[in-house]
Amino acid sequence: MKEVEILVEVKSSKEEVLKILEKFNFVGEKEVLDIYFYNENNEKLKPINGELKECFRLRKKDGKNYITYKIDHFKDGKWVYSDEEETKVDDFEIMLKIVSQLGFKPLVEIDNIKHTFLTDKYEIVLEEVKNLGLFLEVERLVVGDNEDVHVVKEEIFDFIKSLNINVGEESTAGKPELMLRKKI
């Protein structure tokens, strides 16, 4: 599935942003734990200068567990979109053991609280990321195979601007990369 989204750091207060977003359909607030892994024997899963081109993740969200593999696509050194494959797994702890037995080691953990809202076109998530900050992530719900990703991203950024939230520039990295850079 093609994932096209924009991530920006929020400079407004959490309360201000939630007030602005309350006009949309509130889906809920959830605590999410993502553990990203690397493997010394797999070049695709090794970070290079704080960047991940492909990543392997276990997620715990709302009493459900998922395993995910993502391939990031870049243009001129900037992230454009990801191909993401994800499926549910029953037992998080057993999955951790399996992953460890296969030689994978934890790279970074992203522990956050997500406040999720929906429109007919977008999923809007205000994220409080432990040890990283406050972020807004807006993802277009449906992206056709033949759509120009750059046009879709412009549309998303225009939507973000229309919200009148004080945000930074589009992040050229995801939260795992931002956390890796902070660790370095």
pLDDT tier at 31, thresholds 50, 70, 90: very high
pLDDT tens sequence across 80-109? 888 899 999 999 999 999 999 999 999 999
Domain at 2-183: CATH code: 2.40.320.10
Q: How far apart are CA 14 and CA 71, in angstroms?
A: 31
pLDDT tens sequence across 1-25? 678 899 999 999 999 999 999 999 9
End-to-end CA distance of the chain: 31
Rounded (10°) CA dihedral 95, 101, 102, 105: 80
In one-letter notation, the amino acid at residue 43 is E
Q: How far apart are CA 42 and CA 62, in angstroms?
A: 31
Q: How far apart are CA 29 and CA 11, in angstroms?
A: 20
SS3 134: strand
Q: How far apart are CA 68 and CA 43, in angstroms?
A: 18
Q: Where are the domains of the chain?
A: 2-183
pLDDT tier at 178, thresholds 50, 70, 90: confident
pTM: 0.85
What integer pLDDT is reported at residue 42 of this predicted model? 85
Q: How far apart are CA 46 and CA 40, in angstroms?
A: 7
DSSP code, position 171: P
Q: Does the pLDDT at position 117 exceed 80?
A: yes
3-state helix, strand, coil in the chain (%, to 5): 25, 50, 25
